[in-house]
Structure 1
Amino acid sequence: MKLKKLAHLIALIGAVSPAVAQELQQNTPMARVEVTGSSIKRVAKEGALPVQVISFDVLQKQGITSAEQLLSVISANGTGADNPTSGNNVFGADADRVSGGASFASLRGLGPNSTLVLINGRRAPTHGKSGKAVDLNTIPMAAIARIEILKDGASAIYGTDAIGGVMNIILKSDYEGAEASAYTNITEAGGGNIHRGSIIAGTGNLEEDGFNVMATAAFTKNEQLASKQRAFANGFQPQRGLSPDTTGTPFANQLTGAGTALGTGFRMPNDANTYLQANPLSFQGKCDTVEGMSQYQTALWKDVTSPLRSTYSCSYDYGGDYVMQSPSEQANLLLRGSYKLAPDHKMFVEAIGSRSEVISILTPAQISTSLANRNAYPVGGPYYQDLSAFIPTYNRNLPIIYKWRANPLGNRTQENTTESGRLLVGFEGTVQNWDYKFGLSKAQSTTRMELLDGYAYTREFYDVLGSGIVNPWSLDGSQTKAAIDAIERTKYRGAFQTGKTTMAQIDGTVSGELFQLPAGALAMAAGFDLRRESYLYTQDVAAEPILLSPGNANLPKATRDVKALFAEFIVPVTKDLELQLAVRRDDYSVIGATTNPKVAFRYQPANWLLFRGSANKGFLAPSFTQLYTGALPQEMASGVVDTVGCAAHPGDARFCAPDRFDYLSGGNQNLRPETSKQGTLGVVVEPFKGFSASLDWWAINMKDRILNRSPTIVLQNPVALSGNIIRNSDGTINYVQAGWINAAGAKTRGIDLGLRGDGKFDGGFKWNATLDGTWTDSYKFAEIEGQPYKEYVGLFFTRDLYLRWKHSATFSVSQGDWNVLVSNNFASGYKDQLPNAGKGTPPPGFDPDVSSYTRFGLSTTYKGFKNTSITFGIQNLFDRDPPFTAHNVDDVVGAGWDPRVADPRGRAYTLNLTYKFF
């Protein structure tokens, strides 16, 4: 029957026809429901926007228990640095080094700020430390009923920060009974195991008893996975174009400098070249006798200014010394009570709480000593290293300066504890066929960082080095007890940073039918949203005296009020054509007001065919961090030229050869909001019963993107960023304003594909198949206004990768108490980074392409035991290693692999037991 066929299609892809709704209403009264993408409750009918729905059952069968695993199966999510492994390490100027092991969604790769995460349709608190977006680790995964992902901008419906889309996490409600679940995920190669236990219980039927009370609690533990536990995490593969550029080695490299043993440079016999670093192990070809060290590969790291700087140096694969999965523990709690006030009226109280502890472990500090800081190694010290046997000009009567990986100081270890919570009191009901909902909520998230090891007071630590008691040239890394005790006395351990976000919100919506039009009822919704948001970021101790201390400058508590009014209409134009019209006005107390409209349509000329599309505008206000982070006065390196000033005053050293420039980094209260224009156009077909397909084209244009820019980039763009170069009255540069600026724009286009199928085999077997994929046709942006847009799809980039194609697919077969599920995740390849960003010389046979990455999973579920469900699964069934990449580890974490694309855990076995008590 065609109408039933269409109903099946709509239930799967979110596009229900009026005819189906009419037939369903004739047979069985159905409750009106609100779906993501609209504020209007409707009978068996959703809007015209592409919505992906992921059920808890599918998550459980695939063994998905963490935010990272969840994001990997959402093809519309970006391939970027917004995960704990990537965000915990090096990612350039735009990196968020205070995310504390958080996981963020980034739909369309537009960044976490542009993706709105909702819990049951309402906002959740942003991460306490970074303040930019919701940390998905705080979501109670065990309490999820389903996840709805709106792959279209929704600023007119939900708020200005929904440019990239909306992730609406629907939690279980009105649960009756009790069940406990235990889950374990064990890797075959060892390390990185995951364990979780949860319990849910509830009593009372809202309709029959007039109340329901439920609670769910879960505890998850992630064990550490180190790069040393995986063979592919190897940064020394010079034959493939990959080798470390870092000369801060556990067995130190000597540096050149006036007044030192090596002088300002050295030459070798019959060699006219000048060299700037030296290591006796390098001269002997024995760099690899120390774990993690290797001979410096000059051919891969040629530099225009000093091509032979490190020829006689050793390098260190600190990228192969990373922690690929941080040890962490998360506890989540959901309490919910519902009470029936009267027929068609209820109130509920909902409390969500979470606590996350993440141990972030970085490699030991890399330090460079100098004569000026009086921390050179003294002449006559017990470990004085004489290189005169290798370098004829070596002066053994002068001190040594060196670059060293300070392993005796310990791994830089931070403990980030985040406590988040939201208390919501809500009212919902119906008055004369008009639905209403009203909510009052308070949410907050607090993150505290404690330094556990690897951090020392700079002056005290360098004084110890200058005393000569520490041996920077120990082959096995050992030190005397006196040296260890001296280093220990320089360390700082204890509370370091605190970040806190708060949000108080009052919201309300009414929806219903206004009047009848010839083609049907004109429906509308109207509502308001009042929020007060705040953020603070403080150092518990002064950070400046601590060597390589992480974090940002202090940000005293900043507060802003947001007032919003919105309206939405569903207009039936004909029996086959329907329009969705929406408008929202947001007024930010510190930014100003913005009005954003949206128009969408759904046209269904036949039962098996549906067309849909939308067009809307977006507005993304700067975050607290971008606006108010404290300015850090710093000094640029020498050799930087004022190109504009020098052109106007040729030969004047004040402009053409200045000593140094001062600069400020941090927040910028003059930032303009990011704005966008975007749209979708799609088609949905169901040519026969049991199969449906959707194809949706999308496009987004953004202006005034907010990016963090270095002073060097500012000086390289003196015309476009003239306002960031602050000059004195005589025209010389006073200082450079770096940090957060409004850069240029971005343009991205692509297609989402959705396939759904189900049916029966002989013998009573039922099957179901799904595929959700995203084809990114183009992602262009310009770094600075006025510069040409550059295409990034399929190319290496340091912050995000814009892959051509990503998909997730499942195929399941069930009969009776058995179910078998096969899953597949795929990410296309891209052009690799050339050695030294193209300056080096790739080795013969260098492969410029990073291969695609695909993983299969297999699970089986059995429910034949009374009240018991058992699921056994294998993740990464064929044990696929991450694809090799030759990128520079200083730009992107990982050594020979990329954590933005791949899962380093390898094949893993999962077991989930669920028992229902009643």
Structure 2
Amino acid sequence: MSFKMKSMSLAVVSALTALSMAPAMAQDAAANGQQVQRVVVTGSLISRTDTETPSPVQVLTAADIQKSGKTSIAELLNDLAANGQGTLGTGFAGAFANGASGVSLRGLTVGATLVLIDGHRMAPYPLGDDLQRSFVDVSSIPFDAVESIEVLKSGASSLYGSDAIAGVVNIKLKRNFNGTRFNAETGNSQHGGGKTNKASLTTGFGNLDADGYNAWVSAEWRRQDAIKVSQRDQFDWDNRDWRARGGNNLTLGVPTSLNSNLTAASVPFLYNPAGNNPAGVANVDNPANYQFLSSACNFALYRAGGCAVKDTQSNIQPATENVNVVAGFTKLLPDNWELGVKASLFQRNSINNRNASPQAFSPTTFGGNTTLVNGVLTAGVNAVPSTLIPASNKINPFGVPARLYGFIPDVAPTNTVNNTARTTRIAADLKGSAYGWDINGGVGTSEVKSTLDYSGYIYRQALYSAINNGSFNVLGGNSPDVIAAISPTFTNKLSSKLSYADVVASRELMQLGAGPLALATGLHWHKREQNSPPPALTVNGTVASTIAFTMGDETNTAAFAELQATPVKDLELHLSSRLDHYDTYGRSFTPASSFKWTPMKELGFRGTFAAGFRAPGPAEVGTAGKFFTFNAINDPVLCADGNKKTAGNVVGACGISPTYVQTTNKNLSPEKSKSFTLGVIAEPVKGLNATLDYYNIEITNQIVTAAEFPGFVANWVRLPATPVDIANGDGTTHVGTPAVGAIAYAPSAFINAARTKTSGIEADIGYRWNLGNMGKFKANLSATHMFGYSIDGVQLAGTQGPSGVSGATGNPKDRAQLTLNWSRGPLDVTTTTNYTSSFSTIDPSLGVNDCSKTAFAVGGRTYFQGLTQPSQYCRVASFTATNLSVQYHVSDNLTLRGSILNLFDKQPPFDVATYGNSGAQTSYNASLHQAGAIGRFFSVGLNYAF
């Protein structure tokens, strides 16, 4: 940044702040009559009497939340029409931060949406989405303690700083409470799994006006059972056998051409690769080359698919348990000052698995693990050059070394994590008036600690030593000591901490035109510390890498100011700016302006312009790393033409998803954005109100991993060459040692390179109708339509892409939510219909424009590998789910309620390109269509107040 630009940034903030030092003009006495209540709406620092602001803000009240039929904040926010591509849901098993949930306004990933609690920053989850993007885990927010949720759908860095590029979600907890209220609810899914029980108790005492204080506490418990993949395999989207749909049979344990007819089955077996053939040509069709180790399977049964294995471990929805406690205390102080203190403990326990499947033996060799220690990458750690079962082993009848195929018995499924995330928070806010200023100050600290208990990781050297010395039985029944040696369980502790201090002062300075000139100015400070190290057993390479790791901290100081004026009647103007300083890179200056013009009561216009930024976080500039894959390629040396049958090609090197190692970059600059909105506010008739807003956002200097950027040339690091299956050119193979070894990894650093542009319209239409004796009717439609979404000039709106941003979660152009409510006397009925439009499975960002290659190109999907993808799978169909909620007020104290989520039991559409549940081969989109995978869900509950 040039000195001139720095000076201009300082001058603007200083000029706005300097106005605060001028003496205020004398104001008229308070008007007669009842004082109109003023509120501060998210997106502004200045209180106002109307909530229709220049920026589009969606407000969900406590009543709206209760009528939704949902039982968690994560479920509620996932259905917002403005929550788009890149949404991280709890069912997205492929995510690095699986089990947590984040919000992605306008499809710009969870890292571009700032989530606040009571207007203040929270510590982010200890693991970022795809390692990189920090977010607040909304699955840990208590449901019954929420007073309202305000969703600001406009860039807001000029007031809130980093991460508010797409907008802000401000979750407001209860300010005070009197009395006692008990809630209980139970529910279950129609198709099995997912049983949910929930209970909460809130009690408070003290009247602010009469007693000068209020104290309250709310405790909430929620348990949700897992939904297993096996509990939905009656539906085609969850069935691994795609032959009837023109694809491959991907059922575990079934030999096909994809696995060269050699794959682990329900019973372990030995295979003689030489086949007693002097030429050394493998013959997978000769029964004499197989020795099944149990009579439960034989060659004929195996080749017919009769030794398949059912996946009983992978989750569609993880098992979770939440325990939340929130306490608040408000005290009136002399001279109308008010002190508020809130303390909370949110704990979520979830049992997650990143696409769990049974652990298989390594038939020929084990290339070892790749470790990343102090920036040094080492491949082949703890390699096993040959995993062949020697002829001397009593289970080998061939007289020559043989391969062992099968699933390792007595061990947990791969990558199983028992994750306990505990969030603690304490915040104090002081507000009042002094010297003509309204002052709000706050300090607080929050910390997220995650304890991860790992199981299902294999120490391969120990495994094959135990097999060869006879201490491990490949059929099962092994002692706990033996299992502990070959599949050690281990624990890792992660933490993320954020402390902050804010002060905001506001006042009316003078009369200017048709109204007062109001100023708000303030200071902000926060320090963020993240300590998410890798587990010890992955550092030394005993087991494969488990998760991403991040260590680092940042300190941010900022000054900001906002001016509000009404220069002429019915025209409201805002000007705001903020100067941030981060100790990791330097300064960012972000101005913004907005207007609202209401020439008549029935019609108004509004618009905003805002600059924004996202500061590079610890995962990008600190000490961090991860191993990742994101598309399928053919080894450029070992399978250059991609054909497994070409003579000389290594069969296992065709159609691979190679590993990349993410590295940080200390020289990164912040991402920058420019956005504007232009909208109409209309109330043509009594009871009908509508807003329509156009938005346009451009992000430059975007931080991406180099491997995802066009033109990246991978510097492949290879393992030592070992004997493998090599094609003969006639459909058979032989065992040989190629000229080079298999790909181990390629390093990929973060770089400032990408440019993203998105635009669209958002509509919010509400209608209230008094039906007299028939009750009252309310309708609200919230909808969004995307005109465009491009990355580096590649248009992705309405497609699967971008695959490199939050896992090919889809980029539909349209989302909508229609809520209808009818109430009469004690009865209250609400339906909520959520709609997501169709989109193409093609991801143009990968240079793929051929539908027949879509599924395999994105994420290495194998539904139609080697085949032509049927045209019906070139698009993901639209999805509509309706929820029904009924409440009946038995008395002033007792309310009964019931709900049916996904009332019509709509199944999710096929999505063959997303990788969210790729390991389980479930072909649905967990971010957009999770309600369909769960299916119809019933619940009943009660609310009792006393």
TM-score, with length taken from structure 1: 0.81
Alpha-carbon distance in structure 2 between the residues aligned to 1:456 and 1:674: 40
Alignment of 1:794-873 (within 5 A): 794-795=799-800, 797=803, 798-832=807-841, 834-837=854-857, 840-842=866-868, 846-873=872-899
1:349 counterpart residue number: 341
8 Å contact from structure 1 (residues 256, 262) kept in 2? no
The structure-2 alpha-carbon separation of the partners of 1:220 and 1:242, relative to structure 1 and needing over 3 Å to count, comes to farther
Offset of 1:286 from its aligned partner? 3.8
Offset of 1:573 from its aligned partner? 2.5
Among 554, 559, 563, the residue aligned to 1:560:
554
2:461 counterpart residue number: 459
8 Å contact from structure 1 (residues 383, 471) kept in 2? no
1:83 counterpart residue number: 89
3-state DSSP of counterpart to 1:80: coil
Structure 2 runs not aligned, ≥5 long: 1-27, 253-258, 287-291, 366-383, 638-657, 718-744, 843-853, 858-863
Among 465, 489, 500, the residue aligned to 2:485:
489
Alignment of 1:50-89 (within 5 A): 50-80=56-86, 82-86=88-92, 88-89=93-94
| Matched residue type, 2:673 | S
- Cα deviation code 1:767-823 (max 9, x no counterpart): 1111111111211113xxxxx424242335443311111111111111111111111
Alignment of 1:868-907 (within 5 A): 868-887=894-913, 895-902=922-929, 903=931, 904-907=933-936
Alpha-carbon distance in structure 1 between the residues aligned to 2:321 and 2:389: 43
Is 1:39 aligned to residue 35 of structure 2? no
Alpha-carbon distance in structure 1 between the residues aligned to 2:326 and 2:575: 35
Alignment of 1:279-428 (within 5 A): 286-292=303-309, 322-361=314-353, 362-371=356-365, 373-379=385-391, 381-384=393-396, 396-401=398-403, 404-406=406-408, 408-412=410-414, 413-428=416-431
The structure-2 alpha-carbon separation of the partners of 1:793 and 1:405, relative to structure 1 and needing over 3 Å to count, comes to farther
Alpha-carbon distance in structure 1 between the residues aligned to 2:357 and 2:943: 40
- Cα deviation code 1:16-75 (max 9, x no counterpart): xxxxxx9x9765312321001101112335520100111222222222122331123211
8 Å contact from structure 2 (residues 810, 914) kept in 1? no
Task: Give RMSD over aligned pairs.
Answer: 3.7
- Cα deviation code 1:612-668 (max 9, x no counterpart): 111111110111112223458999999658xxxxxxxxxxxxxxxxxxx99863322
Among 789, 796, 801, the residue aligned to 1:779:
789
| Matched residue type, 1:288 | G
3-state DSSP of counterpart to 1:745: strand
Alpha-carbon distance in structure 1 between the residues aligned to 2:660 and 2:181: 59
| Matched residue type, 2:343 | A
8 Å contact from structure 1 (residues 125, 503) kept in 2? yes
Offset of 1:321 from its aligned partner? 5.4
3-state DSSP of counterpart to 2:105: coil
Structure 1 runs not aligned, ≥5 long: 1-21, 90-95, 271-277, 294-317, 386-395, 473-478, 642-660, 725-734, 783-787
- Cα deviation code 1:351-405 (max 9, x no counterpart): 12111111113223345333562321233645548xxxxxxxxxx5532335654
Alignment of 1:623-638 (within 5 A): 623-630=617-624
- Cα deviation code 1:505-555 (max 9, x no counterpart): 1110011211101221111110010111111122453314343341134x4
3-state DSSP of counterpart to 1:105: coil
Offset of 1:415 from its aligned partner? 1.0
| Matched residue type, 2:837 | S
3-state DSSP of counterpart to 1:744: strand
The structure-2 alpha-carbon separation of the partners of 1:540 and 1:469, relative to structure 1 and needing over 3 Å to count, comes to closer
Among 767, 777, 797, the residue aligned to 1:757:
767
Offset of 1:210 from its aligned partner? 0.8
- Cα deviation code 1:880-917 (max 9, x no counterpart): 11112333767586513221221222111111211111
Alpha-carbon distance in structure 2 between the residues aligned to 1:774 and 1:874: 25
8 Å contact from structure 1 (residues 377, 467) kept in 2? no
3-state DSSP of counterpart to 1:156: helix
Alpha-carbon distance in structure 2 between the residues aligned to 1:537 and 1:269: 50
- Cα deviation code 1:719-775 (max 9, x no counterpart): xx99x9xxxxxxxxxx96414333311111111111100112242410111111111
Among 690, 704, 718, the residue aligned to 2:701:
704
The structure-2 alpha-carbon separation of the partners of 1:582 and 1:285, relative to structure 1 and needing over 3 Å to count, comes to same
Alignment of 1:521-670 (within 5 A): 521-543=516-538, 544-553=540-549, 555-556=550-551, 558-630=552-624, 665-670=662-667
Is 1:29 aligned to residue 56 of structure 2? no
3-state DSSP of counterpart to 1:820: strand
The structure-2 alpha-carbon separation of the partners of 1:469 and 1:265, relative to structure 1 and needing over 3 Å to count, comes to farther
Alpha-carbon distance in structure 2 between the residues aligned to 1:854 and 1:281: 46
Alpha-carbon distance in structure 2 between the residues aligned to 1:284 and 1:841: 26
Alpha-carbon distance in structure 2 between the residues aligned to 1:714 and 1:568: 38
8 Å contact from structure 1 (residues 256, 264) kept in 2? no
Offset of 1:674 from its aligned partner? 1.0
Among 507, 515, 528, the residue aligned to 1:512:
507
- Cα deviation code 1:830-888 (max 9, x no counterpart): 22363423864336664422221111122211112340111111111111111123337
Alpha-carbon distance in structure 1 between the residues aligned to 2:788 and 2:432: 45
Alpha-carbon distance in structure 2 between the residues aligned to 1:260 and 1:40: 85
The structure-2 alpha-carbon separation of the partners of 1:335 and 1:292, relative to structure 1 and needing over 3 Å to count, comes to same
Among 83, 88, 102, the residue aligned to 1:104:
102
The structure-2 alpha-carbon separation of the partners of 1:846 and 1:828, relative to structure 1 and needing over 3 Å to count, comes to closer
Alpha-carbon distance in structure 2 between the residues aligned to 1:763 and 1:632: 63
Residue correspondences, number: 804
1:250 counterpart residue number: 265
The structure-2 alpha-carbon separation of the partners of 1:118 and 1:519, relative to structure 1 and needing over 3 Å to count, comes to same
8 Å contact from structure 1 (residues 154, 162) kept in 2? yes
3-state DSSP of counterpart to 1:605: strand
3-state DSSP of counterpart to 1:801: coil
8 Å contact from structure 1 (residues 674, 704) kept in 2? yes
Offset of 1:583 from its aligned partner? 0.3
Offset of 1:323 from its aligned partner? 0.6
Alpha-carbon distance in structure 2 between the residues aligned to 1:891 and 1:269: 30
The structure-2 alpha-carbon separation of the partners of 1:25 and 1:102, relative to structure 1 and needing over 3 Å to count, comes to farther
Alignment of 1:680-695 (within 5 A): 680-695=677-692
2:114 counterpart residue number: 116
Alpha-carbon distance in structure 1 between the residues aligned to 2:797 and 2:774: 49
Alpha-carbon distance in structure 2 between the residues aligned to 1:559 and 1:524: 33
| Matched residue type, 1:532 | K
Alignment of 1:416-455 (within 5 A): 416-431=419-434, 434-451=437-454, 453-455=455-457
Is 1:916 aligned to residue 945 of structure 2? yes
1:173 counterpart residue number: 175
- Cα deviation code 1:588-607 (max 9, x no counterpart): 01111010000111111111
Alignment of 1:157-306 (within 5 A): 157-230=159-232, 231-232=234-235, 233-243=238-248, 247=259, 249-251=264-266, 266=282, 286-292=303-309
Offset of 1:350 from its aligned partner? 1.1
2:722 counterpart residue number: none
1:644 counterpart residue number: none
| Matched residue type, 1:810 | T
The structure-2 alpha-carbon separation of the partners of 1:840 and 1:607, relative to structure 1 and needing over 3 Å to count, comes to farther
Alpha-carbon distance in structure 1 between the residues aligned to 2:298 and 2:336: 81
2:18 counterpart residue number: none
